[in-house]
Amino acid sequence: MSTPLNLTIRTGQLQDARQLAVLLTQVWLHTYANNGITEDIAGYVLSEFTPEKCLIWFNDVATQMFVAQQEEALVGVAILRCGVSCPAQKGLMTELQMLYVQEHFIGKGIGKRLLQAAENKAQSLANAGLWLTVKANNLRAIEFYAHQGYSKLGTIYFMLG
């Protein structure tokens, strides 16, 4: 597992909004639209992954964002939301809302580096770890998080549409 040359993990910036919106859309569709694009999926993606929504996240003090940048291109992102209580374990108050790595860059250590940046930020903000959710059939993500020391604490349902 080698990290690409010229890879930087940094705090997201306002000027990243357009690239970030496209990256989020691409990774989300690749991960969750395994059976094609339904009206519900189209509506969700077009409303949730916009440059305007990214700008809102950047201006929200409770949201922290890290991006993985390969030369001029964004290839991954981690988005934290502080002050969100874990429903399954008291004391965890920082949610890792998204950890997305572009498919072409999976297996190069980028997800691990983004997760480490997120964990360090959670520790500095709340002196605690992260909690997160993973789609039940996203076995690659479940295996990744297990390899990083995470375990299942409960079940949360996400309804689309």
Quote the domain boundaries for residue 141. Answer: 12-147
Q: Is residue 156 part of a domain?
A: no
**Domain count of the fold of the chain:** 1
CATH label of the domain that carries residue 129:
3.40.630.30
What is the average pLDDT across 115-143? Answer: 88
- pLDDT, tens digit (0-9, with 9 covering 90-100), for 1-60: 454 458 999 999 999 999 999 999 999 999 989 899 999 999 999 999 999 999 999 999
Query: Does residue 3 fall inside a structural domain?
Result: no
Residue 6 lies in a domain: no
* Model-wide pTM > 0.85: yes
Per the DSSP assignment, residues forming a β-bridge with 33 are none
What pLDDT was estimated at residue 156? Answer: 62
Are 55 and 128 spatial neighbours (Cβ–Cβ below 8 Å)?
no
Say what the pLDDT of residue 5 is.
59
124 contact partners, CB below 8 Å, separation of at least 6: none
pLDDT value of position 155: 63
Q: Hunting for tokens 């190069």 — which residue is that?
A: 108
